[in-house]
Structure 1
Amino acid sequence: MDFETARAVADGSGESVSAISPVPHGQPWLSVLVPFHNVEPFIGACLESILAQIAVCPGIELILLDDKSTDGSEAVCRRLIEDCGVDVRLLQHPENRGIAAARNSLLDAARGDYLWFVDSDDMLLPGAIEALRAVMDKARPDVVLCDYLRQDSVRYTTFAGEGGCHTRCIETLIAGTFAKRRLHLWSRIWRRDLFADDIRFPDGAHFEDVAVVPRLLLRARCFYYAADPWVFYRSRPGSIMARINRACAGFDRRGNDDMARALAGFGQAMATAVPHAAPETNFVVARFVAREFTKIAKRLIRGGTGSSNWRHTRAELHRYRMEMESCSPLPFAFVGRQYLLKGKIGRGLELAFWLAIARALPADPMPVVATEQGFV
């Protein structure tokens, strides 16, 4: 069944108000979106953590999407949502299309003013949706940021800045997010209008969060950092990062190529949106890209291409450098010098080492061929 929905009403001037007024039946203020594929051991706890909260908070829809699971994930979902008394839809892909396509399908199906993408192996901590509703009663930000806990019970922050306030500054949002280097989709609740018709997750690509989150941030006019953990993050062996990081027998070219290209065009887009960004803002963004470059470099070497292919390995590393440096607001060499000036000697030397290896190699000399007329 559908609950009667309600949402905070903003007066359009940017001032927050606390009035709650009804909206047309069936139009939720929040869509919780959960794509899943072969996560039978995890999906039950994930859904229970969500259902328990939306059952007592009206105006929320839950949309699940089965990306052609071959285990018991769908059965677990159907058992939990049967007669649960909340607005739930279970969608299905006829074939496995990947997480990006699943999120795009959910995005197209969502009706809520705000979207919260929740990974199927994670959980919402108790009180998370109630806390989000309280934020909406005070303000109507374009994006709400929250922290998260991991299985080690340590709290991880997603934003470097003041919490508990409604802020209208794109540069502050960009700088605070990149300073923490956590570009998760699931630790942010987005106004649906930010996606418009042109932002979609890159179909078939890894690191779709990195490809989409920064562009959404550039569109946000205001934000609210809750500074409280709302998500319990659980790592599982089959996740994308787990597969890429443990690829010791070989280099996962596709995954690393997707990472290298995820921020394509972002440097120019940021320069347009924030034309007079502070040096520190440019640095934290460039540092993020440079750190990802060094991680790819390590994985490339660890993948083991063999000493006979060392020249090819260096050429590959040079390609990654060129692709990723074009996304950065600052040259990587400048980032390295800033590391040294800030006392981060290890980071600076490490980056300098990989940049040296990634330099363009001189062209192979033309072969000398003997002919009747001489040598050419």
Structure 2
Amino acid sequence: MTWLSILVPVYNVERYLEECLSSVMEQLPAEGGVQVLVLDDRSTDGSWQLMQQLSQRWPGRLQLLRHERNSGLSAARNTMVDAATGDYLWFLDSDDKLLPGAIAGLQAIVVQHAPDVVLCDFRVWRERARLKHRLRGEGHRRSFDGPAGRLVRDRGRLLAGMLMTGELHAWSKLSRRALWGSADGSGLRFPVGRYFEDMATMPLMALRADSFFYEPRPWVAYRQRGNSILATMTTPKALDQSAALLPLAQALQGRPELQQPGLRLALAHQAARALVGAMRHVCQGKLGDAQPQPSVLAERLRQNFRAASPLSPEELARAYLRRGWWLRRRKFLRWFHAMPAA
């Protein structure tokens, strides 16, 4: 039986791909049971040719897929979700890598507890790590704020813990394939053509889960690249960032989880972080385009916050004060009320 599918989307990562896949191959269980799907999204470098070479190095261990045309990260992941056969899914970006013991650690948790979702920590991976990076704790970043090392059946607690850290990336959240449903339109898939796709999708996945297990050990090395797709902000990126939590807010309407104070604060806090991240670029004139007008765009960002957050700006500011989060309150109010230069 295939208990795990590891999904690796590939686009112009020839420089990093071998190291990524080697980190997987080196720890595959001898008894099998792990499917490794690698999909080329029509790379323009030598990624596809390298994939073919690596499949010959590890015969029968890699399952290669290729899109007919470049369709983006979300579409690549969606294609692999549809092709996966494992009970659990692990999304792994092709410029990152698995740390030693990751698959064995996951297997032990699955065998003993069989949770719907397993969360793991990560470390930031830099080619030139400096002292300041170590002081920031990049060697071990938490992906979850909540109970660790045990099975928990509390959907609201799962969502709150994910949202409070803001680490909503797909590769630190391993999930049952059953949570994603079928490809007939009723299942959960990543939004094609949108930025911040993880922020829009992973909370919705968590909302379908009945149980989770948080393992506070780094299982993934996240490569920090200066030329990533989000290194520069544009108007579409700013709008997608501020609107990423709207599907979750809509899905939570009328559900008992939304009455949990911890979840209400966490969702409002993450909506505020998304607003601040986008508003900073708008007000400082750092967008790579000029449409719409900055003042119009800023108001749209504020509207998205109000629609996503269960707390009003005033309620969130008071919540920050009660917890002594003075700097967070100051930053949020500054950028919420900021007006871009004409």
TM-score by length of 2: 0.89
- What residue in structure 2 maps to residue 213 of structure 1? 202
Amino acid at match of 1:236: R
Given that 1:143 and 1:189 are in contact with CA atoms closer than 8 Å, whether structure 2 keeps it comes out as yes
Select 2:21's aligned residue among 43, 47, 52. 47
- What residue in structure 1 maps to residue 82 of structure 2? 108
- What residue in structure 1 maps to residue 101 of structure 2? 127
Amino acid at match of 1:241: L
Structure-1 separation of matches of 2:338 and 2:226: 32
Does residue 332 (structure 1) correspond to residue 306 (structure 2)? The answer is no
Larger Rg: 1
Amino acid at match of 2:160: A
Which runs of structure 2 are paired with 1:125-164 in the superposition (5 Å)?
125-151=99-125, 152=129, 154-164=139-149
Structure-2 separation of matches of 1:231 and 1:352: 35
Shift of 1:345: 2.2
- What residue in structure 2 maps to residue 343 of structure 1? 324
Tell me the secondary structure at the aligned position of residue 156 of structure 1. Answer: coil
Select 1:73's aligned residue among 47, 54, 58. 47
Structure-1 separation of matches of 2:74 and 2:108: 30
Given that 2:157 and 2:262 are in contact with CA atoms closer than 8 Å, whether structure 1 keeps it comes out as no
Does residue 223 (structure 1) correspond to residue 205 (structure 2)? The answer is no
Distance 1:53 1:86, change over 3 A: farther
Structure-1 separation of matches of 2:335 and 2:124: 31
Runs of 4+ in 1 over 4 A off after TM superposition: none
Structure-2 separation of matches of 1:131 and 1:242: 33
Given that 2:91 and 2:170 are in contact with CA atoms closer than 8 Å, whether structure 1 keeps it comes out as yes
Structure-1 separation of matches of 2:296 and 2:328: 23
Structure-1 separation of matches of 2:286 and 2:154: 45
Structure-1 separation of matches of 2:264 and 2:29: 44
- What residue in structure 2 maps to residue 175 of structure 1? 160
Does residue 202 (structure 1) correspond to residue 187 (structure 2)? The answer is no
Given that 1:53 and 1:127 are in contact with CA atoms closer than 8 Å, whether structure 2 keeps it comes out as yes
- What residue in structure 1 maps to residue 254 of structure 2? 272
Distance 1:202 1:54, change over 3 A: same
Does residue 256 (structure 1) correspond to residue 238 (structure 2)? The answer is yes
- What residue in structure 2 maps to residue 30 of structure 1? 4
Amino acid at match of 1:293: L
Tell me whether 326-335 or 138-147 shows the greater mean CA deviation: 326-335
Distance 1:57 1:189, change over 3 A: farther
Given that 1:168 and 1:221 are in contact with CA atoms closer than 8 Å, whether structure 2 keeps it comes out as yes
Structure-1 separation of matches of 2:16 and 2:222: 11
Q: Quick one: higher RCO (CA 8 Å, sep 6+), 1 or 2? A: 2
Given that 2:55 and 2:61 are in contact with CA atoms closer than 8 Å, whether structure 1 keeps it comes out as no
Does residue 300 (structure 1) correspond to residue 285 (structure 2)? The answer is no
Structure-2 separation of matches of 1:204 and 1:280: 32
Shift of 1:166: 0.9
- What residue in structure 2 maps to residue 60 of structure 1? 34
- What residue in structure 1 maps to residue 170 of structure 2? 185
Shift of 1:237: 3.0
Amino acid at match of 1:142: D
Given that 2:246 and 2:307 are in contact with CA atoms closer than 8 Å, whether structure 1 keeps it comes out as yes
Structure-2 separation of matches of 1:55 and 1:166: 24
Structure-2 separation of matches of 1:127 and 1:278: 36
Equivalent pairs, count: 322
Shift of 1:357: 3.4
Does residue 88 (structure 1) correspond to residue 92 (structure 2)? The answer is no
Unmatched segments (≥5 aa) in structure 1: 6-27, 245-251, 360-376
Structure-2 separation of matches of 1:351 and 1:313: 19
- What residue in structure 2 maps to residue 239 of structure 1? 228
Structure-1 separation of matches of 2:257 and 2:113: 27
Structure-2 separation of matches of 1:182 and 1:72: 31
Structure-2 separation of matches of 1:264 and 1:315: 19
Tell me the secondary structure at the aligned position of residue 216 of structure 2. Answer: strand
Select 2:267's aligned residue among 262, 279, 285. 285
Unmatched segments (≥5 aa) in structure 2: 130-137
Structure-1 separation of matches of 2:310 and 2:4: 35
- What residue in structure 2 maps to residue 20 of structure 1? none
- What residue in structure 1 maps to residue 336 of structure 2? 355
User: Identity of aligned pairs, percent?
Assistant: 37
Tell me whether 323-332 or 183-192 shows the greater mean CA deviation: 323-332
